[in-house]
Chain A
Amino acid sequence: SSELTQDPAVSVTLGQTVRITCQGASLATSYATWYQQKPGLAPKLVLYGKNSRPSGIPDRFSASKSGTGASLTITGAQAEDEADYYCSCRDNSRSRELFGGGTKVTVL
């Protein structure tokens, strides 16, 4: 079982907005990091910190946090955004990285 909880799947119509949530006690004192993974490929960093995007990640990806929850929002979803998305955060009390179970995003 994961200490970060994500909905298993969510769908979004092309061009619309979708929010992926992540819940866990460790998020009370930290922010989530978000990874995108497409079939057969390694995960790719898309968001970290308060709302930081690595070079090359479109600004339609944004992050937010409230209490013990975190969200990744895709504003104007594109077909290429269809993927699995994983949240993670550092459990500072144990110096380990936690991953959520992943959310499969389908773009209709």
Chain B
Amino acid sequence: QVQLEQWGAGLLKPSETLSLTCAVYGGSFSGYSWSWIRQAPGMGLEWIGEMNDSGSTNYNPSLMSRVAISLDTSKNQFTLGLTFVTAADTAVYFCARGGAERQRVTALRFSTFFYMDVWGRGTTVIVSS
């Protein structure tokens, strides 16, 4: 059973760089995308971005100028970097494994559906001076 274990600094000062790591146990990177999602206190989920197993990335446009996701396949880990943090970046950060499945939706059409089926427990990051 695949498990994700995540860690990183939990207290940052404004303008510092957030760095979180997520380790994948019991599975490989191949065939999946690897995502980061965050949740501000009392708020909903916000997708940060993803990297697939071939190294392609997609990022939330609202964070694109500050975010970077990378994979280290030798260690079965992926990381999140977020530069110039502010109090607005205070949140619980989750890593997750993303999958895709092709399904028939009509007699003549198929569609690909995306999901995140394995999640880390979350890391609380507080940005405060």
Residues of chain A whose beta carbon lies under 8 Å from any beta carbon of chain B: 2, 30-31, 33, 35, 37, 41-45, 48-50, 52, 54, 86, 88-90, 94-102
Q: Is the CB of B94 within 8 A of A50?
A: no
Cβ contact of B61, chosen from A2, A31, A33, A94, cutoff 8 A: A94
Q: Is the CB of A48 within 8 A of B122?
A: no
Q: Is the CB of A45 within 8 A of B105?
A: no
- A100: chain B residues at CB < 8 Å are 44
Nearest-CB residue, chain B, relative to A90:
B114
How far apart sit A2 and B46, CA to CA, in the bound complex (Å)? 9
**Is B72 part of the binding interface, using a Cβ–Cβ cutoff of 8 Å?**
no
- Chain B: interface residue total (CB-CB under 8 A): 25
Further pairs besides A42-B94, A97-B50, A99-B44: 7, Cβ < 8 Å: A2-B44, A31-B111, A49-B101, A96-B47, A98-B47, A100-B44, A101-B44
Q: Is the CB of A52 within 8 A of B101?
A: yes
Q: Is the CB of A50 within 8 A of B44?
A: no
- A86: chain B residues at CB < 8 Å are 44-45
Q: Is the CB of B103 within 8 A of A52?
A: yes
Cβ contact of B103, chosen from A33, A49, A102, cutoff 8 A: A49
Residues of chain B whose beta carbon lies under 8 Å from any beta carbon of chain A: 35, 37, 44-47, 50, 58-61, 94, 101, 103, 105, 111, 113-117, 119-122
- A98: chain B residues at CB < 8 Å are 47
How far apart sit A45 and B116, CA to CA, in the bound complex (Å)? 7
- B114: chain A residues at CB < 8 Å are 33, 48, 89-90, 97
Taking the nearest CB of chain B, how far is it from the CB of A12, in angstroms?
Answer: 21
Cβ contact of B122, chosen from A42, A50, A88, A90, cutoff 8 A: A42
How far apart sit A15 and B111, CA to CA, in the bound complex (Å)? 34
Cβ contact of A48, chosen from B61, B105, B113, B120, cutoff 8 A: B113
